[in-house]
Amino acid sequence: MRLVKKVNVIAVLAGVATLVMGCQVQNSKPEVAGTVSDSGVHTFMLDNGMKVLVQPDHRSPVAVSQVWYKVGGSYEYPGITGVSHALEHMMFKGTKNLKPGEFSDIIAENGGSENAFTGKDYTAYFQRISSDRLELCLQHEADRMRNLQLNETEFKKEIEVIKEERRTRTDDKPTSLTYERFNAAAFINSSYQQPIIGWMNDLDSMQLKDLSSWYATWYAPNNATLIVAGDVDPHQVYTWAKKYFGVLKPSAIEAPKPRKEVEQMGERRISVKAPAKVPYLLMGYKVPVLKNVDDTAEIYALEVLAGVLDGGSSSRLSQQLIRKSEIATSVGAGYDPYARQQTLFLFDGSPRDGHSAVELEQAIKKQIKSLQNNAPSKDELDRVKAQVMAASVYEKDSVFYQAMQLGTLETVGLGWQKKDEYLEKINQVTAEQVQNVAKKYFKDDRLTVAILEPQEIDVNKRPKYKSAGGRHGH
């Protein structure tokens, strides 16, 4: 029932830089074709403005290929929410050269697996495959970057699939529903208030031409990054990238409107009444991200703060709220420093029987207060740093994850080199800095709270499944 990832700092964000603590890896080399960083990332730039990153890893004869586009849920505006994700689905429905589903079939025949994902700030497509078949992926990925054939019949079916996806992910899950409403309440004018999958009403009224125009606006080589990791030769990858992606025409890409969140002027609070059994609490404080902060040290201090609160079973929230006061049955905290816009430092959890969500909220606030009054201990800080250091070694076990990190950083405009700096920056964080960011950002005026208030699960209160347009062929 928890949405916030337990692993927060540790697994999600640690840099891959180096095996040796304290060994500085700063990468500020200019990005001309063919540079290679100390951490082994090869960077190439194609003439049409597409960036290519290659991270060799020769442990297994496999490769992952990912193409990341700078477009996602936060690029959308009211009325067309969900269009990035809908387009992602339609990207599998054929090009001038391939029939619907044929790209997938080709990958499957070659023993590969493939998928795509849409986030707030990006849309990405990937294949995992035997490294000797990588060229196929690049060839067809390049094809659909510019040659997609959007077809009305396919769209009519696929938009119904997407609505089913929305029902599965959100409408029938009380905690997800609460998160969606919470998010919409927390942000006033920022596009982060919109659900990535889109509001149902927007999906109902979505048309193929919305997708065509979205495709025309954002899908171009100069708005994309190719990332290849695994058992590959970087220069061979570069050669193929030039051959397949290099020939594509760039577009004039206009940056999305900033839609910078206005300053919050007091606590915001909502309740969500839905059929459920267990109450659920979400709290979020507005915090800056690496992309838009004056002092970047604050961001790493917030990361360490998340670690002190919820970096493993020994961290404060588990210790104090689950094991000591026994108010929570589950509790978590987390933060994404790599978002494109101002975001939220989140807390979530469910109370034990006999306690309310409001009591849990008070208990979390008490933990916050304690960090504001007293800096964390040296032991706590050391534990967080040890976990980040170890995670920077463990993550080498997943080629896919390493590629994900490069893709995220590059696509939000931070530059992939931030990955190499992470460990060092975390090591520099002091207890006092952690205390300071807790004081500066964990203020009631920056807070949004949502509480799921379980309602009886009553079969007589059935959802309406009416959907504009109805279904085809039935």
According to the binding rule CB under 8 A, does residue 378 interact with other proteins? no
Hey, which residues between 78 and 117 contact other proteins (CB under 8 A)? 85, 88-89, 92, 100-101, 104-105, 108-113, 115-117
Hey, which residues between 293 and 322 contact other proteins (CB under 8 A)? 311-314, 318-319, 322
According to the binding rule CB under 8 A, does residue 461 interact with other proteins? yes
Contacts of 419 (CB under 8 A, 6+ apart): 15, 16, 17, 39, 405, 406, 409
Cα angle 11, 12, 15; round to 5: 85
Binding mask 327-346 for other proteins (x = CB under 8 A): --xx---x-x--x------x
Active site residues: 88
Member of 29, 393, 439, 445 binding other proteins (CB under 8 A) = 393
Q: Where are the beta strands (DSSP E) in 276-354?
A: 280-287, 328-334, 343-351
According to the binding rule CB under 8 A, does residue 249 interact with other proteins? no
According to the binding rule CB under 8 A, does residue 277 interact with other proteins? yes
| CB of 29 vs other proteins, minimal distance in Å | 26
Tokens of 474: 């039935």
According to the binding rule CB under 8 A, does residue 469 interact with other proteins? no
Phi, psi of 324 (to 5 degrees): -90, -70
According to the binding rule CB under 8 A, does residue 172 interact with other proteins? yes
Eight-class DSSP state of 411: H
According to the binding rule CB under 8 A, does residue 353 interact with other proteins? yes
Tell me the DSSP string of 24-76: ---------TTEE-TT--EEEE-TTS-EEEEEE--SSSEEEEEEEES--GGG-
Stretch of residues binding other proteins (CB under 8 A), selected from 32-40, 174-182, 202-210, 259-267: 174-182
Residues 439, 372: contact at Cβ < 8 Å?
A: yes
Residues 230, 112: contact at Cβ < 8 Å?
A: no
β-pairing, 343-351 with 280-287?
Answer: antiparallel
| CB of 404 vs other proteins, minimal distance in Å | 10
Tokens of 270: 């909502």
Nearest by Cα to 215 from 225, 227, 205, 223: 223
C-beta of 19 vs 262, nearer to other proteins = 19
Residues 93, 151: contact at Cβ < 8 Å?
A: yes
Q: What long-range pairs does 91-95 form, CB within 8 A, spacing at least 24?
A: 91/116, 91/125, 91/144, 91/148, 92/116, 93/148, 93/149, 93/150, 93/151, 93/154, 93/155, 93/158, 94/148, 94/149, 94/151, 94/154, 95/143, 95/144, 95/147, 95/148, 95/149
Q: Distance (Å, rounded) from C-alpha 73 to C-alpha 86?
A: 11
| CB of 457 vs other proteins, minimal distance in Å | 6
According to the binding rule CB under 8 A, does residue 386 interact with other proteins? yes
According to the binding rule CB under 8 A, does residue 459 interact with other proteins? yes
Member of 233, 397, 432, 444 binding other proteins (CB under 8 A) = 397
Contacts of 456 (CB under 8 A, 6+ apart): 275
According to the binding rule CB under 8 A, does residue 160 interact with other proteins? yes
According to the binding rule CB under 8 A, does residue 201 interact with other proteins? no
Member of 399, 429, 431, 438 binding other proteins (CB under 8 A) = 399
Stretch of residues binding other proteins (CB under 8 A), selected from 1-9, 41-49, 214-222, 237-245: 1-9
Member of 48, 139, 156, 242 binding other proteins (CB under 8 A) = 156
According to the binding rule CB under 8 A, does residue 204 interact with other proteins? no
C-beta of 46 vs 434, nearer to other proteins = 434
C-beta of 73 vs 221, nearer to other proteins = 73
C-beta of 251 vs 427, nearer to other proteins = 427
Helix (H) or strand (E) holding 299: helix 297-310
According to the binding rule CB under 8 A, does residue 440 interact with other proteins? no
C-beta of 249 vs 464, nearer to other proteins = 464
| CB of 25 vs other proteins, minimal distance in Å | 17
Member of 257, 265, 379, 468 binding other proteins (CB under 8 A) = 379
Stretch of residues binding other proteins (CB under 8 A), selected from 25-33, 48-56, 58-66, 287-295: 58-66
Stretch of residues binding other proteins (CB under 8 A), selected from 212-220, 413-421, 437-445, 450-458: 450-458
Q: Which residues pair with 351 in a beta bridge?
A: 328
Member of 60, 189, 213, 374 binding other proteins (CB under 8 A) = 60
Q: Burial of 467 by CB count in 10 Å (0-12 exposed, 13-18 middle, 19+ buried)?
A: middle
C-beta of 18 vs 43, nearer to other proteins = 18
Residues 212, 90: contact at Cβ < 8 Å?
A: no
Member of 275, 359, 365, 372 binding other proteins (CB under 8 A) = 275
